[in-house]
Structure 1
Amino acid sequence: MSIQILQYEFLGPIPLDEWGPPMEKLVFLIMSRDKDRFNIVYVGDCEKTDDKSFFIQHSGFKCWVEKSGSEKSLYLAILPLFEASKEHRESILNKIKMRYNPPCNVEKVSNERPDYAVRKSDNSTEKFSCPCCGSEMKPEQFLEKSTLYRCGSCGISDTKLNS
């Protein structure tokens, strides 16, 4: 069985008391079951554990039980990411936290801002031909130091530095 959260395919959910170690490099969801619906209570990641009491000893366990109503209502879903870096797992965690706002995740989601600024068009853009089909490239987005152009015929895009 699997469950899709955002664009990620999680294995499970299974009752939390049925899980067994080991776990390594994954993102996990603690979910509460309400009839045929699962609600995300907590999202976390795990580097590695062989500890059977990993979840029971987790600092959020009390909150999970409180939000789900009972220990028997807790379910686990996992997203194995064996080749992924810690940063990649944290990125997935942040996306899920921002979208679902799990009640037992108390830490703040980093809401990073891009390191560029979008500016208004001044209509003094350079005209040039598409390197693929020769059609005129049209400006699509104006950034602080560059402009993104897209070909209306073949769809290829190119970025040019602003002068």
Structure 2
Amino acid sequence: MSIQILQYEFLGPIKLDEWGPPMEKVVYLIMSRSKDTFNILYVSDCEKTEDAGFFTKNPNFKPWIDKSGSEKFLYLAIYPMFDSPPEHRKLVVSKIISHYKPLCNVQEIPEDKPDYIIKPQFDSENNPPFSCPCCGSEMKLEKTLEKSSIFKCPECGLSDSKLNS
């Protein structure tokens, strides 16, 4: 059995208490099951383990049980990445955390940041006034972004943008 998460095909899910070592170079999901639905509670990676208590000794084990309601509802799915460096596994983990926002990875969910910067004030040196090409009125600065400024005509409503110099 397998489960598709993003573009990755994970083996499982199997009941967590049925898992046994070894495990090497994988990304793993801890999931809770509710009827026919699996919800991702936690995602991480593992370089190598021979420890049978790998999951029960994890500091998140109790929160996994709390979120699933019982240990019998915990499942494991793994994505083997035998020839991959740790950075590649971390990238897969990060993508899954960003997309699914697992409840037990909340401290690891990256904060969404805009890909633009709004400058706090108008600089008349960098953005001198100019006339509206439509009606000839003076264009007013509406918003200054990192690399450009947006102007709007107060008379006719025409908008225009200029690159910041």
How far apart are the structure 1 equivalents of 2:106 and 2:14? 24
Q: Figure out how many residues of one structure are paired with residues of the other and give that number.
A: 116
Q: Specify whether residues 112 and 39 from structure 1 end up closer, same or farther in structure 2 by C-alpha distance, changes over 3 A only.
A: closer
Q: Specify whether residues 90 and 108 from structure 1 end up closer, same or farther in structure 2 by C-alpha distance, changes over 3 A only.
A: same
Deviation at 1:110, TM superposition (A): 4.7
How far apart are the structure 2 equivalents of 1:108 and 1:14? 25
Residue 46 (structure 2) aligns with: 46
Q: For residues 56-95 of structure 1, what are the structure 2 equivalents within 5 Å?
A: 56-95=56-95
Deviation at 1:109, TM superposition (A): 3.8
Residue 2 (structure 2) aligns with: 2
How far apart are the structure 2 equivalents of 1:86 and 1:53? 22
| TM-score, reference length from structure 1 | 0.67
How far apart are the structure 1 equivalents of 2:108 and 2:41? 15
* Structure 2 alignment gaps of length 5 or more: 117-146, 148-165
Residue 138 (structure 2) aligns with: none
How far apart are the structure 1 equivalents of 2:61 and 2:82? 25
- Which AA in structure 2 matches 1:16? L
Runs of 4+ residues over 6 Å off in structure 1:
none
Q: Note the aligned Cα RMSD (angstroms).
A: 1.8
| TM-score, reference length from structure 2 | 0.66
Residue 18 (structure 1) aligns with: 18
What SS does the corresponding residue of 1:104 show, helix, strand or coil?
helix
How far apart are the structure 2 equivalents of 1:110 and 1:69? 27
* Structure 1 alignment gaps of length 5 or more: 118-143, 145-163
Deviation at 1:54, TM superposition (A): 0.4
How far apart are the structure 2 equivalents of 1:109 and 1:85? 22
Q: Looking at CA atoms only, which structure, 1 or 2, has the larger radius of gyration?
A: 2
